[in-house]
Structure 1
């Protein structure tokens, strides 16, 4: 099973962001029929840990590690972390260009939760991607299908973006099914 751990923004934050993306150059390119691969609003998420392939018989170990991480993190919080989407940027270059929007607000709480999750996965000898946690939402994969100047202009436009505030109310263990139309199954949830 290909697994990751995520926090999902609520529908109002997703709708606000979707409207902003439609006004970007990447949104105009998509509307014109260019395959810039906009992220499906129904699947927008902030990945706290990417596990990759995990044998089905280790699912209970994953769930235990995540449950303990959430329990430990919540002890230090008065309430769910308050977040909002704002700013943005790009990763990669050429055909691997990815456009993203930043996560702001009480982000340090998610950093703590991410560290606790990774520590629990490590203790249980479970796989996870060790790249540094950079909280963001991927909004498009334009690759090299639009001019680099358009991507840079979209990044500058996103600098002024500020979405509505929302509480990170739950952590979700997600199974992803790759392909031309990726599909995500929520396997477990923990309130934050």
Structure 2
């Protein structure tokens, strides 16, 4: 079972941001479609755990997060990750505390995963929301304009107060199931 921990923006945040995304070059129809993430699937991956035999240890690790203070965040800015056919366009997150709350959450997640001997991506956590996977289908000039639009965007703030343990089903349109959830302080 392939699992990860994630936070989903509330509906009003997604609706506000969707108006911006709909105007981006990555959202325009093309000969070959860009893999655009659907607004209901926009999420912030807190930790990618990967394949596990059952979700008990992951659920227990998730439950340890209940004492972590919930940071206040907003979608603000954007960048690309990866190169060539693996290029992603992502939105960044901004906090009222210069990222302290997000770093605290990230550290607590990794500590809980280590304690339960669960695998996770040990590279530095880069909080973001994936918008699209344009790869080579969108030119650098168009992406530069999209990045300018995202740089000017400051969405509504929200309390990042629930972390979910998700199961992913891979494919052209990935599907996600909620296995468990915990509310932060």
In the superposition, the TM-score normalised over structure 2's length comes to 0.93
Unpaired segments of 5 or more residues in structure 1?
75-79
- Alpha-carbon distance in 1 for matches of 2:57, 2:6: 17
Q: Deviations over 1:70-108 (max 9, x none)?
A: 32x23xxxxx32111010000112111100001111442
Q: Is the 8 A contact 1:50 1:128 kept in 2?
A: yes
1:112 matched to 2:112? The reply is: no
Residue 110 of structure 1, CA deviation: 2.2
In the superposition, the TM-score normalised over structure 1's length comes to 0.90
- Once the two structures are superposed, the pairs formed by residues 1-192 of structure 1 within 5 Å of their partners are 1-28=1-28, 31-32=29-30, 34-56=32-54, 59-71=55-67, 73-74=68-69, 80-106=70-96, 107-192=99-184
**SS in structure 2 at match of 1:13:** helix
Residue 33 of structure 1, CA deviation: 5.4
- Alpha-carbon distance in 2 for matches of 1:116, 1:169: 14
Q: Is the 8 A contact 1:48 1:110 kept in 2?
A: no
Runs of 4+ in 1 over 6 A off after TM superposition: none
Q: Is the 8 A contact 1:25 1:151 kept in 2?
A: yes
**SS in structure 2 at match of 1:16:** helix
Aligned residues: 182
